[in-house]
Amino acid sequence: MSNTVMMKQGDSFAINWTWAPGDTGQANLIGATITCAIKVCRETIPVPVVIAPDGLTFTSIYAGSTREWGVGTWPFDFYFTFPSGKTHSETFRAQVEESIS
């Protein structure tokens, strides 16, 4: 996964991901639970996650408006819980730029 997602205020926010941890290659996420949130300014905003039926990719979709998100770089956190009970977290960045129209 890339470390930074770039967007403008007011953009839609939906990202398809493939998680390939380290040298083990692409991970199968069937049975896993993924939660996701972005921290914009002082607010933590949950972002729903849908795992593909094949378990090889997932999509994070924020259905609300990003128009009010502050300009800056904000942490975008994923928390994985696998059927075995093992957990993992990843933090990425959403770089929000001003929308000029």
pLDDT in tens, the chain (101 residues): 458 888 899 888 888 888 776 676 677 899 999 999 999 888 999 999 999 998 888 999 988 888 888 899 999 899 999 999 999 888 888 899 998 76
pTM comes to 0.79
Cβ neighbours of residue 48 closer than 8 Å, sequence gap 6 or more: 36, 60, 61, 62, 63
pLDDT of residue 67: 87
Where in the chain are the domains?
Answer: 4-96
pLDDT of residue 79: 93
What is the CATH class of 4-96?
A: mainly beta
pLDDT of residue 1: 46
